[in-house]
């Protein structure tokens, strides 16, 4: 066996800053954050048309070229799915998605140059997409990073499920506890933009449904299934909260099966954790496929 492959460090959050600080531990007061959404309503902006809210999967972290005028910290791409959808549908786009965003950043500033995302909403907004949840409790990156570490010795020989054995339901429990925050965010969108059609966007499939692909994604077969289950739980929570709060859920997970980070270049919609500019994030193809799914949802909702 040759020398071990070096992995591009996963950004803390999805993504707080490119190659950012160490992953934060899971720690969040759910009640306090849900109250913050209700107690600190965003100031309505003056824009109309389509407002895109979300984290790095929406922003298009690492996908070139960068969006003109977007805050540098947000790593927003000019060819992310909001831009592609707006162009295809002839909508006026206000894209305030930002890498590393949590649901709290809907109502609180993320950076000095990135005000609360809900500031972009107004009574004249007609369409809203919300792609958020993976950074709350930093749950998804925490899960992947924790499993990379737990599987360091086991993944090369594909032995067992050390990460699942160590963490059990920790990450899925955190996802469940985030549901009130997602619900509060959707309700606030309806309050600020009462005429808008609201779409909650799910996350793409990151790892395969069976097997593993060391060293591209350094997990055992058992822990690949474990991480896959965590992402399914995240998407299921988002779908449930969308449906319970008057929003349309756009399933990106199902259509992306077979296009995960273990697949060959040209097939995958999510890049692996090494040798790419968007590790464990949608690549350009992924953003394009996202746009196709969102366009279909818009069409079904009567947005031509």
Residues 288-297 have a mean pLDDT of: 99
Q: Residue 165: helix, strand or coil by DSSP?
A: helix
Q: Which residues pair with 77 in a beta bridge?
A: 66
The pair of structure tokens assigned to 35 is: 């109250």
- Tell me if 18 is assigned to some domain: no
Q: Which residues are catalytic?
A: 56, 281
pLDDT at 1 over 70: no
Query: Which token pair is 266?
Result: 């040209």
Is 269 within the bounds of a domain?
yes
CATH of the domain at 266: 3.40.50.1110
Q: Which of 61, 50, 198 is nearest to 141 (CA)?
A: 61
Backbone torsion region of residue 90, taken as left when φ is above 0, otherwise alpha when ψ lies between -120 and 50, otherwise beta: left
140 pLDDT band, cuts 50/70/90, is confident
Is there a domain that residue 47 lies in?
A: yes
Range(s) of the domain holding residue 287: 30-300
Residue 14 forms part of a structural domain:
no
CB neighbour burial string for 6-17, b if at least 16 within 10 angstroms, e if fewer: ebbebbbbbbbb
Indicate whether 115 belongs to any domain: yes
Number of H helices, E strands in the chain: 9, 5
**Residue 21's pLDDT band (boundaries 50, 70, 90)?**
very low
- Strand-pairing partners, residue 87, are none
- Is pLDDT above 60 for 147? yes
Which range among 31-35, 110-114, 174-178, 253-257 shows the weakest confidence by mean pLDDT?
A: 31-35
Coil vs helix vs strand at 34? helix
Is 202 among the domain residues?
yes
Single pTM value for the model: 0.86
pLDDT digits (tens, 9 = 90+) for 54-108: 999 999 999 999 999 999 999 999 999 999 999 999 999 999 999 999 999 999 9
Confidence check: pLDDT of 35 > 80: no
**Mean per-residue pLDDT for 296-301?**
98
In a domain, 225, yes or no: yes
pLDDT at 138: 79
Give 205's DSSP letter. P
Report whether 97 contacts 66 (CB < 8 A).
Answer: no
Q: Give yes or no for residue 16 having a pLDDT over 60.
A: no
Distance CA 65, CA 75 (A): 10
Cα(34)–Cα(29) distance, rounded to whole angstroms?
9
- Sheet containing strand 49-54, edge to edge, reads 93-95, 49-54, 125-131, 197-201, 248-250
Domain count, the chain: 1
DSSP H or E segment with residue 257: none
Q: Is residue 265 part of a domain?
A: yes
Q: Omega of the bond prior to 38 within 30 degrees of 0, cis?
A: no
Q: State the pLDDT at residue 192.
A: 98
């Amino acid at each position: 066996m040759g020398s071990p492959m070096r992995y591009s460090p996963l950004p803390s959050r999805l993504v707080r800053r490119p190659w950012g600080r160490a992953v934060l531990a899971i720690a969040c007061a759910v009640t306090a954050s849900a109250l913050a959404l209700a107690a600190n309503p965003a100031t309505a902006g003056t824009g109309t048309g389509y407002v895109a809210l979300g984290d790095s999967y929406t922003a298009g972290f690492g996908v070139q070229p960068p969006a003109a005028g977007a805050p540098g910290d947000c790593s927003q791409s000019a060819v992310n799915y909001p831009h592609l959808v707006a162009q295809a549908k002839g909508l006026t786009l206000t894209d305030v998605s930002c890498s590393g965003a949590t649901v709290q950043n809907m109502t609180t500033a993320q950076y000095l140059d990135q005000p609360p995302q809900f500031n972009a909403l107004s009574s004249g907004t007609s369409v809203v997409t919300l792609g958020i949840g993976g950074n709350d409790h930093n749950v998804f990156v925490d899960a992947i990073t924790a499993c990379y570490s737990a599987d360091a010795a086991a993944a090369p020989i594909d032995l067992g499920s050390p990460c699942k054995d160590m963490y059990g339901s920790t990450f899925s429990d955190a996802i469940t506890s985030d549901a009130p925050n997602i619900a509060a965010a959707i309700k606030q969108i309806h309050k600020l933009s009462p005429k808008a059609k609201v779409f909650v966007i799910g996350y793409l499939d990151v790892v395969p449904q069976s097997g593993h692909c060391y060293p591209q994604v350094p997990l055992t077969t058992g822990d690949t299934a474990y991480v896959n289950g965590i992402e399914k739980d995240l998407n299921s929570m988002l779908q449930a909260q969308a449906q319970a709060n008057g929003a349309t859920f756009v399933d990106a997970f199902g259509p992306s099966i077979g296009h995960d980070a273990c697949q060959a270049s040209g097939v995958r919609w999510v890049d692996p954790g090494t040798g790419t500019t968007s590790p464990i994030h949608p690549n350009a193809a992924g953003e394009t496929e996202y746009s196709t799914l969102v366009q279909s949802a818009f069409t079904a909702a009567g947005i031509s």
